[in-house]
A = this chain, B = another copy of it.
Amino acid sequence: MELDFSKLDGLIPAVIQDASSGRVLMVGFMNEDAWKKTLETGFATFHSRTRNKLWLKGESSGHRLVVKSIQTDCDLDTILVLVDAQGPGVCHAGYESCFYRTLTGGNWVESEKPTYDPNAVYGGKS
């Protein structure tokens, strides 16, 4: 039972969920290379769509995602990765989770505070 990379131009969505809290931290995309790298290294690795390259999450920030368990769905075209997140936050904008905005009265409203200063970590780069 191999994963099905055929539906999104060679990519599958990977939902990253905190293994302890159950919080959804981010969604990335993996191609077959990123998937193999994730299995080999034990760190969540994605295909960056904007940079078109393999992207070890945390390669700049040190905020790596240690894989604890992986599940797949009925169609084998999506994975759910339970992780221990190293560092204060997963989001390059400075938040614990990339999902830091909640739809409120028709607008996206910041619903939590940042957990670190992204400029200090990324030096102005995202």
Contact = CB atoms under 8 A, between A and B. Distances in A.
B103 A72 contact: yes
A71 B99 contact: yes
Give this chain's copy count.
2
A100 interface: yes
B8 A103 contact: no
Interface in A38-82: 49, 69-76, 78, 80
Nearest to A2: B108
Interface string A7-18: 110000101010
Given A13-B13, A107-B1, A26 B73 contact: yes
5 nearest CB pairs, A to B: A22-B22, A73-B98, A71-B99, A70-B103, A27-B78
